[in-house]
């Protein structure tokens, strides 16, 4: 073989070797698709894992929000207050809405069920006095509902039967109890005041209870003037026979029980005792009442017009 032929043969062999290096054993071009897809999948998984890690870090980084416990307020409603006075307490306690509007009427209690006449203006007398716990900012209507529920739980069959035994409606018994709350400071005097009320009703005498006039005037401290004592109003029991048209306060159970169980005494009159201790002096004659009233006026005069300070009785 000549040098030129060897050169050509060598060139041919070199070309074949180059071709073998470019072409895999199976022939054709290299298949890069599966390798690229695998790499992409690996990258995607890494991205997802990285995202989850970032999310976890962000979650851990967020501060935990704490919810403050609601504030509970206690609303103390004493015995013998009016709905107007209770409305002021509801406002002071931070309750919302109008207490007076809520205490006008409610589906929770129908006064007619207790013998109240048609047209009874509001729920005075049924708003049971007690201490109630509510959330701060609660509606005043919730307080009214709880008061009416408390009344319904306590004023039941026994009180209704006692009213009938006294020839009263349950509503009238409630009116008498509301008077006792205003007239008697001591629990021992309440059954006796109830006896005076019933004795006067039986004899068709005016009750002459100044607390009913004060209810209309919304004045429970100033001395009543002659003009006020002659006030033309169905609540003026000095000039109108019978009970006032509605309760004049919201009584507690002690006053309700005293109205249901009056003392068996013949008294027709009472006046504050001159010792300033809050008890009453009772009498069955007007002459004795005048003497008792004079003793009280003298005690006031001797103390510069003020009620004397009470000294403990022996």
What is the pLDDT at residue 67? 73
Mapped onto helix, strand or coil, the DSSP state of residue 256 is helix
Taking Cα atoms as reference points, which of 207, 120, 208 lies closest to residue 170?
Answer: 120
Band of pLDDT at residue 69, cut at 50, 70 and 90: confident
Mean pLDDT of 136-144: 97
What is the pLDDT at residue 306? 85
Mean pLDDT of 93-118: 97
What is the pLDDT at residue 38? 56
pLDDT at 11 over 70: no
Taking Cα atoms as reference points, which of 147, 137, 146 lies closest to residue 81?
Answer: 147
What is the pLDDT at residue 57? 43
What does residue 96 show for φ and ψ, rounded to 5 degrees? -105, 155
Q: What angle do CA 142, 123, 227 make, to 5 degrees?
A: 130
The H helix count followed by the E strand count for the chain is: 12, 4
Band of pLDDT at residue 311, cut at 50, 70 and 90: confident
pLDDT in tens, 293-309: 999 999 999 988 888 88
Name the E strands within 188-310: 269-272, 280-283
pLDDT at 113 over 60: yes
Q: Whole-number mean pLDDT of the chain?
A: 86
pLDDT at 61 over 70: no
What is the pLDDT at residue 30? 43
Which residues in 42-78 are b (16+ Cβ under 10 Å) and which e?
A: eeeeeeeeeeeeeeeeeeeeeeeeeeeeeeebebebe
pLDDT at 45 over 80: no
Q: Where are the domains of the chain?
A: 72-154, 167-267
What is the pLDDT at residue 127? 98
Higher local confidence (pLDDT), 24 or 223: 223
pLDDT in tens, 195-204: 999 999 999 9
Contact 140, 98 (CB under 8 A): yes
Cα Rg of the chain, angstroms: 46
Mean pLDDT of 22-40: 47
Whole-angstrom distance, CA of residue 116 vs CA of residue 140: 24
Mean pLDDT of 109-113: 97
What is the pLDDT at residue 54? 47
Higher local confidence (pLDDT), 143 or 53: 143
Give 96's contacts (C-beta < 8 A, 6+ positions apart). 137, 138, 139, 140
pLDDT at 40 over 70: no
Higher local confidence (pLDDT), 66 or 121: 121
What is the pLDDT at residue 140? 98
pLDDT at 194 over 70: yes
């Amino acid at each position: 073989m000549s040098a030129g032929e060897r050169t050509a043969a060598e060139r041919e062999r070199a070309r074949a070797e180059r071709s073998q290096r470019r072409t895999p054993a199976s022939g054709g071009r290299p298949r890069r698709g599966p390798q690229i897809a695998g790499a992409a999948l690996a990258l995607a998984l890494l991205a997802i894992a990285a995202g989850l890690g970032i999310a976890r870090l962000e979650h851990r980084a967020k501060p935990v929000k704490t919810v403050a416990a609601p504030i509970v307020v206690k609303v103390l409603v004493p015995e013998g207050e009016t709905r107007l006075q209770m409305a002021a307490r509801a406002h002071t306690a931070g309750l919302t809405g109008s207490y007076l509007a809520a205490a006008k009427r409610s589906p929770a209690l129908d006064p007619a069920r207790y013998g109240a006449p048609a047209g009874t203006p509001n729920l005075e007398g049924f708003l049971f006095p007690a201490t109630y716990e509510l959330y701060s900012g609660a509606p005043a209507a919730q307080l009214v509902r709880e008061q009416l529920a408390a009344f319904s739980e306590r004023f039941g069959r026994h009180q209704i039967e006692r009213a009938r035994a006294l020839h009263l409606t349950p509503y009238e018994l409630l009116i008498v109890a509301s008077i006792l709350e205003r007239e008697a400071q001591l629990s021992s005097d309440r059954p006796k005041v109830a006896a005076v009320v019933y004795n006067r009703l039986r004899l068709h005498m005016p009750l002459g209870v100044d607390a009913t006039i004060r209810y209309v005037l919304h004045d429970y401290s100033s001395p009543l003037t002659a003009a006020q004592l002659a006030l033309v109003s169905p609540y003026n029991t000095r000039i109108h026979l019978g009970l006032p048209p509605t309760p004049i306060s919201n009584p507690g159970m002690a006053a309700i029980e005293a109205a249901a169980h009056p003392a068996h005494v013949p008294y027709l009159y009472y006046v504050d005792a001159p010792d300033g201790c809050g008890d009453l002096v009772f009498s069955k004659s007007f002459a004795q009442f005048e003497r008792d009233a004079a003793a009280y006026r003298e005690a006031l005069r001797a103390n510069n017009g003020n009620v004397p300070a009470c000294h403990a009785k022996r």
